[in-house]
Every structure is written in structure tokens, then in C-alpha cells.
Amino acid sequence: MDEHDLEEQLKRIREMTDRMMRVQNRAAELSEEFERDRANARHGTLQEVRDLRPYSSFRTHDRNRHATDDGARHSLRSAARRRPK
């Protein structure tokens, strides 16, 4: 290897070292930011509010509501047809 090749390699190593330092600094910043967000979430107003309903109760409620709506519409149509003119 000649001197020029060694200088090029040294230049690339320095550039990669600088990039790695920037990546490490950014990772540390993000880690600190995530920790702050977690701390804020623990103290948020919704922290103490919990929905204890099981997931299936939402679906059952929606089905029942749609079934009663369809039944009401159907009975109104049938009553309108039965009316004498």
C-alpha cells in the first residue's frame, strides 16, 4: 500500500467515526425523549381512567342495536302497507 491509499483509508475511518458519534448522540437523545414521554404518560389525566368492559361487549351492543333498528324499520314498512287507502 502506498501513502495515498493509507490517507484515503484514514479519511474514511474518520468520517465513519464521526457518523457513529452522531448516531450514538441521536440515540441517547431519543432515549431521553422516550423516558420523558413515559414519565408524562404516567402522570396524565387518563392514567386513572380505565375501561373495564370486555371487548366482546362492544360487538354485542352494536349487533343488538342494529337488530332493533332493522326490526323497527321493517315493522313500519309492514304497517304502511297494511293501511287501507
User: What pLDDT is stored for residue 53 in this prediction?
Assistant: 79
Per-residue pLDDT, averaged over 51-61, amounts to 69
Dihedral sign for Cα atoms in the order 59, 65, 67, 73 = negative
The residue that leads in pLDDT, 23 or 85, is: 23
Cell 474518520 locates to 14
d(CA 43, CA 48): 9
Domain map (residue ranges) of the chain: 1-50, 55-85
How far from chain centre, in Å, is Cα 76? 43
Length of the chain: 85
Longest dimension (CA), the chain: 108
pLDDT confidence band for 36 (50 / 70 / 90): confident
Q: What nine digits make up the cell of 20?
A: 457513529
User: What pLDDT is stored for residue 28 in this prediction?
Assistant: 93
